[in-house]
C-alpha cells in the first residue's frame, strides 16, 4: 500500500486521518462522555501542517498511545481547522479542530497488528511513529476498518 502523497493543503474532498493521544490524558471514552472536544496542543511542524488541512466532515481514527498503542475509535471533524480566536489556521503555530465521536471500534487495531501486515509498510504510523496527526489513504482506511471488524 503506497503512502499518501496527495496535496492535502488544496482539496475539495474529505480525507481520513489518524490522531494520537495518551489515554490517561484524554481517552476515546472521555470524548464520548464529553460529546465533542477541541483537538489542540500539536507542536510538531509536520503534524501541524496536517492538522491545518483538516476540513469539516473528515473522518479520524482515534489512536491511544502509551501502553495501549491501538486504534480504538472513529471521530469526525465538526468544522475546518482554525487558529487562535477562530482565525484561519494557515500559518498559526496554535491550531485546533473541533471533533466528535462517531463510533468505538468493536475490536481495536493494535500497532503490532499493523506492523505485521505488509500492506501497511509505508503507513506513516509505522514510518514516523512519533507523528501525532497524519493522513490515512482511502485504501489504508478501508483495510484498517476491516481489521477492526475481524
CATH of the domain at 26: 3.10.590.10
Residue 50, in any domain of the structure:
yes
Are β-strands 97-110 and 37-39 bridged in parallel, bridged antiparallel, or unpaired? antiparallel
pLDDT of the residue at 92:
75
pTM over 0.85: yes
* Total domain count, the chain: 1
Tell me how far apart the alpha carbons of residues 39 and 48 are, in angstroms, rounded to a whole number.
Answer: 11
| Burial of 26: CB neighbours in 10 Å, binned 0-12, 13-18, 19+ | middle
DSSP structure class, residue 120: G
Tell me how far apart the alpha carbons of residues 71 and 64 are, in angstroms, rounded to a whole number.
Answer: 6
CB 70 within 8 Å of CB 63: yes
Residue 6, in any domain of the structure:
no
pLDDT of the residue at 116:
96
Residue 144, in any domain of the structure:
yes
Residue 70, in any domain of the structure:
yes
Question: Strand 16-21's sheet: what is its strand order?
Answer: 37-39, 97-110, 70-77, 59-64, 16-21, 133-136
Tell me how far apart the alpha carbons of residues 46 and 58 are, in angstroms, rounded to a whole number.
Answer: 18
pLDDT < 50 positions in the chain? 1-6, 11-12
pLDDT of the residue at 128:
93
Residue 7, in any domain of the structure:
no
pLDDT of the residue at 105:
96
Tell me how far apart the alpha carbons of residues 28 and 22 are, in angstroms, rounded to a whole number.
Answer: 10
Residue 33, in any domain of the structure:
yes
Q: Which domain holds residue 145?
A: 16-149
Tens digit of each residue's pLDDT (9 = 90 or more) over 6-49 = 455 554 455 899 999 999 999 999 999 999 999 999 999 999 99
Amino acid at each position: 500500500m503506497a503512502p499518501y502523497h496527495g496535496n492535502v493543503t488544496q482539496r475539495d474532498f474529505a480525507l481520513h486521518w489518524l490522531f494520537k493521544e495518551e489515554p490517561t490524558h484524554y481517552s476515546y471514552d472521555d470524548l464520548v462522555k464529553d460529546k465533542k472536544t477541541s483537538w489542540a496542543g500539536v507542536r510538531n511542524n509536520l503534524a501541524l501542517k496536517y492538522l491545518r488541512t483538516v476540513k469539516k466532515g473528515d473522518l479520524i481514527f482515534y489512536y491511544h498511545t502509551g501502553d495501549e498503542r491501538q486504534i480504538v475509535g472513529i471521530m469526525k471533524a465538526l468544522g475546518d481547522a482554525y487558529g487562535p480566536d477562530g482565525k484561519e489556521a494557515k500559518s498559526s503555530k496554535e491550531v485546533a479542530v473541533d471533533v466528535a465521536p462517531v463510533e468505538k471500534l468493536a475490536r481495536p487495531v493494535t500497532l503490532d497488528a499493523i506492523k505485521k501486515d505488509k500492506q501497511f509498510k509505508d503507513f506513516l504510523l509505522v514510518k514516523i511513529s512519533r507523528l501525532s496527526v497524519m493522513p490515512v489513504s482511502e485504501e489504508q482506511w478501508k483495510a484498517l476498518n476491516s481489521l477492526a471488524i475481524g
